[in-house]
Structure 1
Amino acid sequence: MVDVRTKRAYDPPEDGDGRRVLIDRIWPRGVSREQARLDDWARELAPSGALRTWFGHDPARFGEFRRRYLSELLAHEPKVRELRRIARHGTLTLVYGARDTEHNDAVVLAELLRRGRRRGDPGHAS
């Protein structure tokens, strides 16, 4: 069982957050490092600039965004495996800056980490 949570960077950290990992490419505006209380910043797991621009946080494009983002994550299997390992041994909170709490990269990555390893998934050892 894995314990993966998502949280906006603008929400205050809580003791129950466990290991906090920022997964955005850009630091969230107006949030200090002290306020963020991060354990890691996994920039490499953020969607590419081209994908982020195409998506534009349009909920109607989220299904296709999810598909394309999962494809991009294939290039980062070691980091995905590391996060899955962390979540198996304690709480992992994926921190993000987007306003939309339902249609963002953290939601997609959290789903991937929670569902376990399936052939073809990033982080699945073939």
Structure 2
Amino acid sequence: MQLKRIYEKRTEEDNVRILVDRLWPRGLSKEEVELDVWLKEIGPTNELRRWFRHDQEKFPQFRELYLQELKDDPQKKSAYDQLKKYYEENDGQITLVFSAKEQEYNHVQVLKEKLENTKKH
């Protein structure tokens, strides 16, 4: 599984490119992005996103709150189930695409960890 900013061009290694943000990235057309899937429902709520603001110190709490959202919100749960299906059907060879400048402390890292943990069970 790869994680890439939306501004990075598609490569052969990308396989299935899945945008996992609630909002469409500014200044880009759908043609430029070359996506296969957009799972906008899977992104964190605006409230959680605003509270977190990619603050490294808040990341452990953000992680727990976001995992709870994925579990409790029916739309997020459904979107996660779709993501998991793509992950399994492609033997983990998917690319999660996002627009955040912060690449280490974001919701995509939480999704990656959750997907990789389900594969182990």
Deviation of residue 117 (structure 1)? 6.5
1:10 pairs with one of 7, 10, 20: 7
Structure that is richer in helix per residue: 2
Corresponding position of 1:95:
97
**2:12 and 2:32 mapped to 1: Cα distance?**
13
Deviation of residue 82 (structure 1)? 2.3
More moved, 88-97 vs 59-68: 88-97
**1:94 and 1:117 mapped to 2: Cα distance?**
16
Deviation of residue 88 (structure 1)? 2.0
Q: Where in structure 2 are the equivalents of 1:7-86 lying within 5 Å?
A: 7-74=4-71, 75=73, 76-86=76-86
Deviation track 1:52-95 (CA, whole Å, cap 9, x = no partner) reads: 00001111111111000001011233332222222122221111
Long gaps (5+) in structure 2:
none
Long gaps (5+) in structure 1:
119-126
Q: TM-score, normalised by structure 2?
A: 0.87
Q: Name the count of aligned residue pairs.
A: 116
Identity, in percent, stands at 37
CA RMSD of aligned residues (A): 1.8
**1:78 and 1:72 mapped to 2: Cα distance?**
12
Q: TM-score, normalised by structure 1?
A: 0.84
More moved, 84-93 vs 50-59: 84-93
